Chain A
Amino acid sequence: MIVNPKNQGLYDRQFEHDACGIGAVVDIAGRPNHAILEYGQQVLKNLRHRGAAGADNVTGDGAGILLQIPHELFAAECQTNGIVLPAPGRYGVGMVFTSKDALLRAKWDALLAQAMGHYGLDVIGWREVPTQPDCLGPIALAAEPAIRQVFIDGNGLADVDLERRLYRARKRTERLVREDGGTEAEEFYVVSMSCRTICYKGMFMDWQLFAYYPDLADKRTTTSLCIIHQRYSTNTFPNWRLAQPFRCIAHNGEINTLSGNRNSMRGREPKMVSPTLGDDLTDLFPVVDPTGSDSAAFDNALELLVQSGRSMPHALMMMIPEAFGAKYHISTDKRAFYEYHAAVMEPWDGPAAMVFTDGRIIGGTLDRNGLRPCRYLVTKDGLAIIGSEAGVVEFPPEQISAKGRLRPGHLFLIDTTEGRIISDNEIKSRIARQSPYRRWLEENRIELRGLFDAPDLVETDPVETIKRMRAFGYTAEEKRMILAPMAVNGQEPVGSMGNDTPLAVLSDRPKLLFSYFRQLFAQVTNPAIDPLREGLVMSLTLFTGKKQNVLDESPVHCRQLKLPHPILTSADMARLRAVSRADFKVATVPMLFDVNRRSPGKALRKGLDALVKAAQAAVVDGASLVILSDRGVSQTQAAIPSLLAVSAVHHHLLREALRNECGLIVESAEPREVMHFCLLAGYGANAVNPYLAFDALAEMNQCGDLGEAIEPVAVSDHYIAAIKKGILKTMSKMGISTLRSYLYAQLFEAIGLKKSFVDEYFTGTTSRIGGIGLDEVAREALSRHAYAYDNDDYSYPEIDMGGDYAFRYQGERHLWNPTTVAKLQEAVRNDDAEAYAEFAEAVNAQSERLCTLRGLFDFQAGKPVPIEKVEPASEIVKRFCTGAMSHGSISKEAHECMAVAMNRLGGMSNTGEGGEDPARYVVESNGDSKNSAIKQVASARFGVTINYLAHARELQIKVAQGAKPGEGGQLPGHKVTGEIATLRFSTPGVTLISPPPHHDIYSIEDLAQLIYDLKCACPGCKVSVKLVAEVGVGTIAAGVVKGNADEVLVSGHDGGTGASPLSSIMHAGCPWELGLAETQQTLVLNNLRGRTRLQTDGQMRTGRDIVVGALLGAEQFGFGTAALVTLGCTLLRKCHEGGCIYGIATQDPELRKRFAGKPEHLTRYLTFVAEEVRQIMAELGFEKFEDMVGRVDRLKTAKAIGHWKAKGLDLSAIFHQVDTSDGRPVRFCERQQDKHQDHMDWKIIELARDAIENKKPVTLELPIRNTDRTIGAILSNRIVLAHGPEGLPDDTLNVVFRGSAGQSFGAFLIGGATLTLIGESNDYLGKGLSGGRIVVKTPPEATYLPHENIIVGNTLLYGATGGEAFINGMAGERFAVRNSGTVAVVEGVGDHGCEYMTGGCVVVLGGTGCNFAAGMSGGIAYVLDERQLFDTLCNLDMVDLETVWREEDKSVLRQLIERHRTFTNSVRAKYVLDHWSGMIGRFVKVVPIDYRKALERMKAEERRGTETTPATEEVFHG
């Protein structure tokens, strides 16, 4: 058996992700039947496109099925083996993956038998499970385990009792085998062991599961329920055990908070007591198998909760609670249930569609955000099918009794013993009332009187404040740029142009420990959340204090301090300390160490030891809250860095099994910016009192630094508000909704910290290149301390001036500085190669003075070649691209200048996220072209029409951007000029929002789908995916390549030209050197590298940078800032203020006139770079650029790293070489598989030739299945290329489909085409609709009510720019998200309807979910509000509600409903029209406030009838 590749280089298997298709089939009445399995097989087959295959294209990532024990089969089979089985239910069956080595197997069999015996069970016998290995791919085959079933006599036990016993015996077996040791132990795995269910799984593609296990096809195998799973893993390393289902669940999603959940579970173990599981629970520990995946860990925890006595729905409600914030209408008891359990267990947060079963009940549930699709169907003969998609099993419409989708946070439950479906409401209210949770809460929850009252005025001693600011490294710049904006605006400060300062470990200046950490963020495998528009699902509330036994419940469980957020004012601290309750004690422990300059490291270690001991003593002494405080800093005592202190205490208490006995509160002068609070929470702090930040703000306010108008009290309030928003944003980047699950989750990567140091104090954190340890940390702290206490000059500036955010001669080094900028501009303007050489020298030499990792690299010399033999510069420049900067973030002049330059060179410019003027597709008379070769597809889909897509050479999906990965953006209304609005299909003066996630990429299989869509919209075009470097990016890239991407772009953290929150610019992501190397290594390990190109960017400047990138594995290179500098930018860093004096980052017509850049400036620069590349190539002995790619053996560490901090760095992981002795490629060599050859559109194009070529009307009728995806996109591409963006005359081509359509039905459909679907559709219908018409009708034979049944999936009309959609039924979540021009009528929608909409019109003839119109800045919606409660469901931040009383509104609405009736024969529409006068009053008009103003302005202009003020200028100056 091949074991997984070991962790090597930068690859670490803990970062594997998976996503999947799931399904469940059940006979509601519980009648066992072989047909259930056959349905299961169908489900699996029809979810094939949600799985993925490995490098060999025949090894699946995994598939499996969980079913009831087929007694008939086993009884018969056992009999032939001479085994007699007890009666059904009286024995258990274990499905075991074990070693093919007979000796090992025998040893483990014995251990298993021993464990069974320990619990009074007996092994009756073993059965070799029949298999058909010849159907497997070579990779799966190589890893194939021996598969056996063990039969265990319950010795009289049955049902729950037997299940529990089997559970404990299994856990004991696992423990014994693990302790028996060796790496071989990994080969032993109990797939399932139960008296009710059994699981068959393995490394299969869908069809292989049933082929491999003849048992499943055997007619004697019957079950009344099954759950199925099809896996899509980012990696293809052979691993049979990670296939799903697990013992209870099959999971499509990802647990983002896994490390926090794991740590918390470990923390709970010491207190676990369970009467049902017996006295000795040690066999069960660790509850969570440390080697399992996130889904496996979830399964472990769920299993424990269930086996210890909670019902499965109860346990799921604890682990995946629905959102219960104030904005939700839920019952008081249910809210109390959730709040009570919030004190017991944190959510296992992340996108999840889960199907689960205990063998009796079966069901599905979704996470609170509903980020995974899940549809169900119930037939009239009592069958229920749940699946990731609709249409996975086909039934005639008349046989269907109900259809639906799972809603966010809801349960869909079938109890086969009761033989019925139990509604979400019923099950939840039953559970919520099984104990008096509400009363328990009211009586026990601790809410201190006066806590969180308006903070008192703080009296500060100015000199003491100055000393502290010095000791904790405050700078004047930080006060001005970070603290002041937070206190004034209550918002996080914004900056632009990336970060060009050294990594903390390379800096000469003492850095706070915080700055050695980087935030992680979600990319591809799960989505970021929008903390602004979808803030209702998020929460900062937490409970802290002593935690109780998780396996039990009692009133005491919630006797904890409830904090609405984790920031405490100094007054709060005083109130907390004043608490005196016997059951709630508060202790303070100083986090200080002796000032000892001779051996700072030792002194710090001594201080830490004392701190940890004192904290432990306090807990043992009964403290419920331990405050770690550095208020005692003095001449002789320095502060232990707060992060180090809290993490050391947290991990120590975890190890001592005391962590759940107390809450940790940090009282420190050190934290002040968002990142600091996030880190403290991530490493163990339950709350933080940043007292110096408050003192500093108070002092600043007294000096008038905050302006005149601020009330002293408001200062702290604003500051806290800004920090809260920042924490929410940081959590949301990772896709985490609640602070409770973010706590302890350690979602950071360390860069520049010694591994031993991290392992000791930040256990579990990744630190890949080593760096400094305790000694250097202490030295940094002491150097600040000396500045504070050995200097009594307090004149202005009392503290260091700073220089991190803007260059200061006295401050931090910057790679972009007066010399480099000036030299580069001189070089390109005067075409001066010498000046370029000086520029390159300044940059390259500066790198050696430690600014970047690549500065620490040296080239390994080779045999030089004459430079004449080296590939010409004109070829090398074709590998260059400019960064994705939208027309909007930069001016038209700058944007077009770059496009012309890149087209002249044969390189590629990038549209960015802002659309493109179609006029640019026409080549100029002098041969120049302004058409950007790369067309970006970003989350807002601005201007992404079929015409745009069809004119691309490359389509780039921006998953994240370097400056602010995981975040959305906003183009304020005053920047949306007429010009910009036209390109983006929006309204001048109306704010445009880019959502943090792509709403059609919540998982890796969604990304594969989008790639599929884009390749339909532009057949033959390359698709690239832009990722940002962070730990684990390699694994994500592997998934992306498996999703059929042609190119992967790994961006560095430091790049970025646009406006971003400063905390993101400075603290998220990692250098491209790390990300690129990891990606290269992982792709080669997976043997996927040959299918894709790799690109990298992020502060690229010189030829040396390019060569380093190539040797690490990149083939293409992006330039952002450097390109702008050639065009005149001098890094004012004012992009976000629109005051760019160079006319680059501005839309102000006056400033745009100043733009002085020329295409030749950019072409000269890139040519200089290419020439420098050639020189280095000649020295290294490379003639062809491609020969350099991936030659990491030609890099080495610079000879001497003498720097006091950098000397601890170890770059060997970056230079790691993957074994390629089997000849596997290390660079691009073959194109991805064409997955569109059998696309249905080719047939339609053939049949509709007359329409496409001659504009003659054509009507077609075709059947359709859920596997037919993205219908209409290739067709639209053909039409737009033939006839332009307007398409065909209306109604030229009509195609009528019957059945269940696959995802992205009608995507990018162009005008003149009408697609009518009689049946139903999955997600993403009408994505990017570009003028076409989509009609979805409920089949006439259907007996259910259309407006009560889901007919189409989630995320419809995403980014649609025009056309119409008529939906004769209900839609799922996010209907018409980011719609900017389509008119749609639907009969009901789920949550987040019309989110981010900027134009068009939506009519909803039925109910809506919550958060309707969030972020809606344009367009109109009419909602039929029969219960008059719509205002409680609508997000009113940006919209107003009106009644429909204007005649013009009435007539628009009526016309639309009439059209809806005409196209769909809707009964609902007919009813409304028939009762028009009665119904019209029940409609509500939703109109965005800004949009209404813009419309009024435009109207007024029309009335004036003058053209004196162009709309643009009015917008700009108005």
Chain B
Amino acid sequence: MGEPRGFLRYARSEVGHRPVVERVTDFHEIDLPLTPEAMRNQAARCMNCGIPFCQGAGCPVVNCIPDFNDLVYRGRWKDACSLLHRTNNFPEITGRVCPAPCENACTLNVNDNPVMIKHIEYQIVERGFEEGWIVPQPPRVRTGKRVAVIGSGPAGLAAAQNLARTGHDVMVIEKDERPGGLLRYGIPDFKLDKGVIDRRLDQMRAEGVQFQCGVTVGEDISVRYLRKRFDGVCLAMGAGQPRDLNVPGRGFDNIVYAMEYLTAQNKLCAGEPLEGAAPISAKDKVVVVIGGGDTGSDCVGTARRQGARKIYQLEILPKPPEQRPSDTPWPNWPRIMRTSSSQEEGCERLWSVMTKRFIGTDILVSQLLGCQVEWITGPQGWEVKEVSGTEFRLPVDLVLLAMGFVHVTHAGLVQNLGLRLDERGNVLVNHHQTSEPWVFAAGDAVRGASLVVHAIRSGQDAAAAMDRWLRQEHRGQ
């Protein structure tokens, strides 16, 4: 523990951002990291509580937060880096894009400002790469078992890394051109520079993970091939099915899914070839983003950088309160008013609104017809109800649908494998094992769309379950 009364001595700092005027002109990362000296004081604020809620109630990968805070306070960055990697495969990712449930659960968040855990994590891992402390950890003994991981998002990568380190031969099969999944194609560069992914992939390759990109299982290779070639398979292809908006006028060409839009920009930034026509650009357009979540924010930031004239962001839920509501007491994750850096860059947010229809000409939408809604409790829980007389119209040149994802894509692999699904349409698993014993699953494919950090944890757990199963099978032979 740093200083017993450190939290009284030092105030929480916030991570700075590049000035808006500057940052909206490029796609580079916007965070301005603190200095190492400042980090010491920030780490000193940690009390090493008898019950560290940050770890026990906050962090899905159960990082040993008080312990690495203490190491940072003592200047033992290398040890902190080692400790951090014991629980988190990709702290450089979570250190950038995690909403930090740990900080929400920090006991200082009860009546003070939490320790800046996320940024401490970021600093530890960045220093680790800089100093060359993060080196491949190839297995000492190989099991000879062959494993395929389908999908290379955070869940797939975490699973692959852990399986490789325990000695299995791991092949990651990715449908896109390069590994990374949502990390690479979903998250904009200004939040996560893609070089960050590449340096981790280098480590994984050195640990023995092989990547097979541009291959769609179920199309390019068959299930039979998988069964023959591998002892076990881990599905980590995410929740690919976006939630649609079934209103009149949905069919216009300039109404697109957020993920298509973001992917295009990410590929553009990376210099990757784009399939089909020219990329959709928001330049000089009035953009409406439907969906108030993180993806929506990413769309806002991307559109801003593309030079949008005006950006609206629509959210069907009411505007959240400024203060924590009593139904989500600490350390639960509260729904409170938050403003993302992208929103900061300029967009108009509308709350409690519903899109009723799109109006346009030919193939392009030009107007959005919406209305205010209210939320009432009905027999099935909360129900949304239109407020009469509140209809409004927005002029629009581009509509981005960022309303989340419903479940894993069923067509193709899931159907071919004949896997059982849960009531929400996700792959049904028991300790990460699907209804086909040799097939395991992890990440959003199992739990539906969620945080990167959940995906990492899920990948770790799936790897552990799979490893146990493989070793048992092995013994059986």
Contact residues of B between 60 and 110, Cβ < 8 Å to A: 62, 64, 66-67, 70, 74, 76, 78-79, 82-83, 86, 105, 107-108, 110
A1131 partner residues in chain B, CB cutoff 8 A: 49-51
Question: Which residue of B has the minimal Cβ distance to A1134?
Answer: B47
Given contacts A818-B105, A1132-B47, contact A806 B329 (CB under 8 A): no
Contact residues of B between 38 and 59, Cβ < 8 Å to A: 47-53, 55-57
Expressed in whole angstroms, the minimum distance between the Cβ of B461 and any Cβ of chain A is 13
Question: Which residue of A has the minimal Cβ distance to B50?
Answer: A1133
B380 partner residues in chain A, CB cutoff 8 A: none
User: At the interface, yes or no: B8 with Cβ under 8 Å from chain A?
Assistant: yes
Expressed in whole angstroms, the minimum distance between the Cβ of B133 and any Cβ of chain A is 9
State which of B7, B67, B78 has its C-beta within 8 Å of the C-beta of A801. B67
Question: Which residue of B has the minimal Cβ distance to A795?
Answer: B82
B79 partner residues in chain A, CB cutoff 8 A: 796-797
Query: In the bound complex, what is the Cα–Cα distance between A1134 and B1 (angstroms)?
Result: 11
Query: In the bound complex, what is the Cα–Cα distance between A1130 and B50 (angstroms)?
Result: 8
Question: Which residue of A has the minimal Cβ distance to B112?
Answer: A1141
State which of B4, B51, B331 has its C-beta within 8 Å of the C-beta of A814. B51
B62, A1139: Cβ atoms closer than 8 Å = no
A1133 partner residues in chain B, CB cutoff 8 A: 49-50
A796, B83: Cβ atoms closer than 8 Å = yes
Given contacts A801-B64, A830-B327, contact A806 B50 (CB under 8 A): yes
User: At the interface, yes or no: B340 with Cβ under 8 Å from chain A?
Assistant: no
State which of B5, B50, B140 has its C-beta within 8 Å of the C-beta of A807. B50
Expressed in whole angstroms, the minimum distance between the Cβ of A1301 and any Cβ of chain B is 51
Expressed in whole angstroms, the minimum distance between the Cβ of B64 and any Cβ of chain A is 6
Q: Which of A502-510, A820-828, A1205-1213 contacts B (4 or more CB under 8 A)?
A: A820-828
A1134, B50: Cβ atoms closer than 8 Å = yes
A825 partner residues in chain B, CB cutoff 8 A: 329-330
User: At the interface, yes or no: A1156 with Cβ under 8 Å from chain B?
Assistant: yes
B64 partner residues in chain A, CB cutoff 8 A: 801, 808, 810
User: At the interface, yes or no: A816 with Cβ under 8 Å from chain B?
Assistant: yes
Query: In the bound complex, what is the Cα–Cα distance between A830 and B326 (angstroms)?
Result: 7
User: At the interface, yes or no: B416 with Cβ under 8 Å from chain A?
Assistant: no
State which of B4, B57, B86 has its C-beta within 8 Å of the C-beta of A1134. B4
B66 partner residues in chain A, CB cutoff 8 A: 806
User: At the interface, yes or no: A237 with Cβ under 8 Å from chain B?
Assistant: no
User: At the interface, yes or no: A1459 with Cβ under 8 Å from chain B?
Assistant: no
User: At the interface, yes or no: B246 with Cβ under 8 Å from chain A?
Assistant: no
Interface 1/0s, chain A 802-820, versus B by CB < 8 A?
Answer: 0001111110001011110
Given contacts A818-B56, A826-B329, A830-B326, contact A797 B4 (CB under 8 A): no
B78 partner residues in chain A, CB cutoff 8 A: 796
Query: In the bound complex, what is the Cα–Cα distance between A314 and B400 (angstroms)?
Result: 101
Given contacts A810-B62, A810-B64, contact A1142 B110 (CB under 8 A): yes
B51, A807: Cβ atoms closer than 8 Å = yes
User: At the interface, yes or no: A1203 with Cβ under 8 Å from chain B?
Assistant: no
Query: In the bound complex, what is the Cα–Cα distance between A1142 and B109 (angstroms)?
Result: 11
User: At the interface, yes or no: A1137 with Cβ under 8 Å from chain B?
Assistant: yes
B52, A807: Cβ atoms closer than 8 Å = yes
A822, B329: Cβ atoms closer than 8 Å = yes
User: At the interface, yes or no: A1154 with Cβ under 8 Å from chain B?
Assistant: yes
User: At the interface, yes or no: B332 with Cβ under 8 Å from chain A?
Assistant: yes
Expressed in whole angstroms, the minimum distance between the Cβ of B52 and any Cβ of chain A is 6
Query: In the bound complex, what is the Cα–Cα distance between A826 and B48 (angstroms)?
Result: 23
Expressed in whole angstroms, the minimum distance between the Cβ of B400 and any Cβ of chain A is 37
Contact residues of B between 339 and 390, Cβ < 8 Å to A: none
A829, B326: Cβ atoms closer than 8 Å = yes
User: At the interface, yes or no: B472 with Cβ under 8 Å from chain A?
Assistant: no
B82 partner residues in chain A, CB cutoff 8 A: 795-797
B430 partner residues in chain A, CB cutoff 8 A: none
Query: Looking at chain A's contact residues, is the secondary structure mostly helix, strand, loop, or mixed?
Result: loop
Contact residues of B between 380 and 409, Cβ < 8 Å to A: none
Contact residues of A between 874 and 924, Cβ < 8 Å to B: none
Q: How large is the interface on A (under 10, 10 to 19, 20 to 34, 35 or more residues)?
A: 35 or more
Question: Which residue of A has the minimal Cβ distance to B1?
Answer: A480
User: At the interface, yes or no: A464 with Cβ under 8 Å from chain B?
Assistant: no
Expressed in whole angstroms, the minimum distance between the Cβ of A1152 and any Cβ of chain B is 12
User: At the interface, yes or no: A461 with Cβ under 8 Å from chain B?
Assistant: no
User: At the interface, yes or no: A497 with Cβ under 8 Å from chain B?
Assistant: yes
User: At the interface, yes or no: A711 with Cβ under 8 Å from chain B?
Assistant: no
Expressed in whole angstroms, the minimum distance between the Cβ of A204 and any Cβ of chain B is 55
User: At the interface, yes or no: A704 with Cβ under 8 Å from chain B?
Assistant: yes
B7, A806: Cβ atoms closer than 8 Å = no
Q: How large is the interface on B (under 10, 10 to 19, 20 to 34, 35 or more residues)?
A: 35 or more
User: At the interface, yes or no: B111 with Cβ under 8 Å from chain A?
Assistant: yes
Query: In the bound complex, what is the Cα–Cα distance between A703 and B71 (angstroms)?
Result: 11
State which of A480, A792, A796, A806 has its C-beta within 8 Å of the C-beta of B51. A806
B57, A822: Cβ atoms closer than 8 Å = yes
Expressed in whole angstroms, the minimum distance between the Cβ of B232 and any Cβ of chain A is 25
B51, A1141: Cβ atoms closer than 8 Å = no
B74, A704: Cβ atoms closer than 8 Å = yes
Question: Which residue of B has the minimal Cβ distance to A820?
Answer: B51
Query: In the bound complex, what is the Cα–Cα distance between A1134 and B52 (angstroms)?
Result: 12
User: At the interface, yes or no: A971 with Cβ under 8 Å from chain B?
Assistant: no
Query: In the bound complex, what is the Cα–Cα distance between A476 and B68 (angstroms)?
Result: 12
Expressed in whole angstroms, the minimum distance between the Cβ of B97 and any Cβ of chain A is 23
B48 partner residues in chain A, CB cutoff 8 A: 806
Query: In the bound complex, what is the Cα–Cα distance between A480 and B70 (angstroms)?
Result: 11
Interface 1/0s, chain A 705-735, versus B by CB < 8 A?
Answer: 1000000000000000000000000000000
Instruction: Output the residue of B4, B7, B111, B112 with the most chain A CB within 10 A.
Output: B111
Query: In the bound complex, what is the Cα–Cα distance between A476 and B64 (angstroms)?
Result: 12
A818, B51: Cβ atoms closer than 8 Å = yes
A704 partner residues in chain B, CB cutoff 8 A: 74, 76
Given contacts A796-B82, A1156-B111, contact A1139 B4 (CB under 8 A): yes
A809 partner residues in chain B, CB cutoff 8 A: 55-56, 62
User: At the interface, yes or no: A1150 with Cβ under 8 Å from chain B?
Assistant: yes
Query: In the bound complex, what is the Cα–Cα distance between A807 and B66 (angstroms)?
Result: 11
A705 partner residues in chain B, CB cutoff 8 A: 74
A822, B108: Cβ atoms closer than 8 Å = no
Expressed in whole angstroms, the minimum distance between the Cβ of A1344 and any Cβ of chain B is 59
Question: Which residue of B has the minimal Cβ distance to A1133?
Answer: B50
Query: In the bound complex, what is the Cα–Cα distance between A747 and B30 (angstroms)?
Result: 65
State which of B51, B74, B86, B327 has its C-beta within 8 Å of the C-beta of A797. B86
B51 partner residues in chain A, CB cutoff 8 A: 806-807, 814, 816-818, 821, 1130-1132
Expressed in whole angstroms, the minimum distance between the Cβ of A1192 and any Cβ of chain B is 34
Question: Which residue of B has the minimal Cβ distance to A797?
Answer: B83
A818, B53: Cβ atoms closer than 8 Å = yes
Given contacts A830-B329, A1139-B8, contact A1132 B57 (CB under 8 A): no
Expressed in whole angstroms, the minimum distance between the Cβ of A472 and any Cβ of chain B is 21
A817, B56: Cβ atoms closer than 8 Å = yes
B107, A822: Cβ atoms closer than 8 Å = no
Query: In the bound complex, what is the Cα–Cα distance between A703 and B331 (angstroms)?
Result: 35
B326 partner residues in chain A, CB cutoff 8 A: 829-830
Query: In the bound complex, what is the Cα–Cα distance between A88 and B327 (angstroms)?
Result: 95
Given contacts A796-B82, A822-B57, contact A1130 B49 (CB under 8 A): yes
A1150, B8: Cβ atoms closer than 8 Å = yes
Query: In the bound complex, what is the Cα–Cα distance between A810 and B86 (angstroms)?
Result: 11
Query: In the bound complex, what is the Cα–Cα distance between A890 and B258 (angstroms)?
Result: 55
Question: Which residue of B has the minimal Cβ distance to A805?
Answer: B50
Expressed in whole angstroms, the minimum distance between the Cβ of A803 and any Cβ of chain B is 10
Expressed in whole angstroms, the minimum distance between the Cβ of A487 and any Cβ of chain B is 16
Contact residues of B between 115 and 145, Cβ < 8 Å to A: 140
Instruction: Output the residue of A792, A822, A1154 with the most chain B CB within 10 A.
Output: A822
7 pairs of A and B residues whose beta carbons are closest in the complex:
A1133-B50, A818-B56, A818-B57, A796-B79, A796-B82, A1131-B50, A809-B62
11 contacts between A and B (CB under 8 A): A795-B82, A801-B64, A806-B51, A809-B62, A822-B329, A1131-B51, A1132-B47, A1133-B49, A1139-B5, A1142-B111, A1154-B111
Contacts A818-B53, A1139-B7, A1142-B111 given; 11 further ones with Cβ under 8 A? A704-B76, A705-B74, A797-B86, A808-B52, A809-B56, A817-B56, A818-B57, A821-B51, A1130-B53, A1130-B110, A1141-B110
